[in-house]
């Protein structure tokens, strides 16, 4: 009987010790669920109309005045600028090459197959609970990790390219830049792990690449962690403090003011280029309105999407000191092997058109608010045996470069 009493007492002690742990876990889970629910409510504004895209996305047509930008305290009484005061002059004509050339005019977004948003609204990709739960925290959802941009001349570059970001880019620096343009070949690179991504973009940069870096970014990306799939998507990003606290992708925080009802940030691009097949590309232009000081973005030749208000930035309130064009991937392998996540088409630039990814018609916006060819172009990649870049110039394509690679291969173990 004494033994039974002792066992019973021990059992009661174990239960009493474990109860707070179970209760603590339950409380934490409930707290996180409430935070997720609250964040979803903040991001997903009441729609005028909703469209279900073939890729599973839901595109909400939200009244322009109700978009996430106006959650920012400094935008509460903001009057929307419905069009830029000035548009850069001197845009290069689109190349007129053979029938196998890029078909930029055919590019659209997948959700367009199921409908369009009415005037006075903007299309916003609806955030799902699963999207936020994939992030390490509610606070980090929609944000890059700090110090995700490389300065090609920096001595702090991780030359081994292990456990970090890798690039294959061209760049200009040392001047005053008021915008940039490029036509970017669109692919669907393979991603090895869900916490990795592959993107191709333009960077508009100011600051010291320390804690005060200002960056405006736009292009296409494949990011399973952010979107929950491997679709190629149009994206934007901004930060004013080197990705520490400010900024986010697309419309996932207050900041970017969208005015266009036809293009959705974060939505899938369609169609995509194929190896030795049809090639598709998108044209992106970012420029500073010299009157209001806002940074504007245009997609293609006719879609002026919106602007980043000047007050979001410190260094970029005047001009950019560096422009970068190219690809970036995350290499998160920890066993010494390189990731097999692809950049661009997943093929090296030496393979050329129809096989390697490219940027063409690369231009910068100068002080006179006119587009011109960049001068003194530099190239940079951490590991050319993994991802590389080769630039050139022609009458049809202006300044251009091929870039990318497969990641892990016999020369990039």
Catalytic residues: 217, 328
68: helix, strand or coil: helix
Task: Give CA–CA dist 259/308, Å, rounded.
Answer: 11
Please, which residues have CB within 8 angstroms of residue 160's CB and are 6 or more apart in sequence? Answer: 382, 383
Task: Give CA–CA dist 279/267, Å, rounded.
Answer: 20
Torsion angle in degrees (nearest 10) through CA of 181, 273, 57, 340 = -100
For the chain, what is the radius of gyration of the CA atoms? 23
Nearest-CA neighbor of 51 among 120, 114, 118? Answer: 114
The first and second tokens of residue 222, run together, are 């494949």
Phi, psi angles (nearest 5°) of residue 290: -65, -15
| Residue that has been written with the tokens 């602007």 in this structure | 307
Nearest-CA neighbor of 355 among 367, 368, 366, 345? Answer: 345
Task: Give CA–CA dist 166/78, Å, rounded.
Answer: 39
The first and second tokens of residue 150, run together, are 């490389």
Task: Give CA–CA dist 307/72, Å, rounded.
Answer: 14
Angle at 107 between CA 234 and CA 48, to 5 degrees: 60
Contact 242, 68 (CB under 8 A): no
Task: Give CA–CA dist 26/79, Å, rounded.
Answer: 45
Measure CA 215 to chain center. 12
- Number of Cβ within a 10 Å radius of residue 209: 18
DSSP classification of residue 8: H
**How many residues comprise the chain?**
413
Task: Give CA–CA dist 174/323, Å, rounded.
Answer: 10
Ramachandran class of 344: left when φ > 0, alpha when ψ lies in -120 to 50, beta otherwise: left
Hey, CA dihedral for 145, 183, 253, 309, is it positive or negative?
A: positive
């Amino acid at each position: 009987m004494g033994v039974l009493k002792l066992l019973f007492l021990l059992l009661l002690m174990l239960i009493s010790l474990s109860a707070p742990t179970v209760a603590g876990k339950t409380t934490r889970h409930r707290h996180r669920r409430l935070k997720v629910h609250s964040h979803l409510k903040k991001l997903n504004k009441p729609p005028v109309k909703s469209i279900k895209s073939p890729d599973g996305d839901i595109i909400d047509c939200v009244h322009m005045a109700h978009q996430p930008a106006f959650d920012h305290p400094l935008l509460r009484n903001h009057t929307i600028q419905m069009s830029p005061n000035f548009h850069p002059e001197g845009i290069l004509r689109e190349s007129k090459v053979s029938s196998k050339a890029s078909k930029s005019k055919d590019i659209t977004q997948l959700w367009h197959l199921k409908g369009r948003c009415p005037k006075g609204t903007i299309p916003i990709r609806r955030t799902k609970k699963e999207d936020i739960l994939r992030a390490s925290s509610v606070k980090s959802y929609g944000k890059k990790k700090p110090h995700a941009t490389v300065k090609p001349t920096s001595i702090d570059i991780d030359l081994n390219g292990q456990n970090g970001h890798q690039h294959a880019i061209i760049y200009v620096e040392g001047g005053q830049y008021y915008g940039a343009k490029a036509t970017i070949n669109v692919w669907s690179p393979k991603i090895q792990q869900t916490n990795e991504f592959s993107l191709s973009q333009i960077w508009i940069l100011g600051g010291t690449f320390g804690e005060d870096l200002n960056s405006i970014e736009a292009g296409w990306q494949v990011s399973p962690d952010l979107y929950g799939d491997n679709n190629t998507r149009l994206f934007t990003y901004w930060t004013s403090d080197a990705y520490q606290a400010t900024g986010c992708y697309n419309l996932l925080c207050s900041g970017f003011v969208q005015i266009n009802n036809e293009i959705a940030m974060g939505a899938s691009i369609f169609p995509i280029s194929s190896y030795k097949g049809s090639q598709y590309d998108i044209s992106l232009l970012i420029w500073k309105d010299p009157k209001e000081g806002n940074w504007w973005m245009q997609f293609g030749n006719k879609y002026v999407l919106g602007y980043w208000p000047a007050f979001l930035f410190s260094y970029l309130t005047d001009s950019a000191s560096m422009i970068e064009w190219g690809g970036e991937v995350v290499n998160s392998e920890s066993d010494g092997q390189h990731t097999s996540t692809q950049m661009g088409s997943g093929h090296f630039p030496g393979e050329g058109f129809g096989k390697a990814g490219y940027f063409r018609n690369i231009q910068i916006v100068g002080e006179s608010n006119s587009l011109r060819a960049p001068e003194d172009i530099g190239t940079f990649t951490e590991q050319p045996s993994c991802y590389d870049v080769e630039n050139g110039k022609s009458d049809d394509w202006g300044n251009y470069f091929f870039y990318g690679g497969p990641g892990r291969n016999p020369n990039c173990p």
